Amino acid sequence: MESPAKFSADFRLNRTADEVLSLLRAAQDVIYSEPAALGLPPGATAALVENLRARISVAVGQYVVRLNQAGFTQSDHLYKIRDELAASRPIPADELAWLSGTLENGLSA
């Protein structure tokens, strides 16, 4: 049986800061690619917005899992984003600011 350290290396569970930032950028791209995540698009029905936000919530949840595996310690912000979307609410501005700031300033900020 292989040691856990070898398992982590084989499956790239120890990611670099650049890889973590790349995952955060991908999550941000998913969020900003759909206007329903941020507000109510003109002419959109409640059912459409609910479905779109649920889909984005699932995608953000997948990134949270990958970030947690990478040892990211600020996932609580992404959980809040995911939960707001799952409840069919737009993402709070402070969480969007956190995401942008983290990407702009890096992980040490």
Residue 13 pLDDT greater than 70, yes or no: no
Q: How confident is the model at residue 7 (pLDDT cuts 50, 70, 90)?
A: very low
- In the three-class reduction of DSSP (H, G, I as helix; E, B as strand; rest coil), residue 76 is classed as helix
Q: What's residue 26's pLDDT?
A: 93
Mean pLDDT score, 7-29: 73
Burial category of 101 from C-beta neighbours within 10 Å (exposed 0-12, middle 13-18, buried 19 and up): exposed
This prediction's pTM: 0.76
Q: What is the dihedral of CA 93, 98, 104, 105, to 10 degrees?
A: 150
**The pair of three-digit structure tokens given for residue 8, joined into one six-digit string:** 């982590």
Mean pLDDT score, 66-70: 91
The gap from C-alpha 27 to its chain's centroid, in whole angstroms, comes to: 4
Token match 């609910």: residue? 50
Rounded Cα–Cα distance for residues 109 and 104 (Å): 9
Mean pLDDT score, 79-96: 92
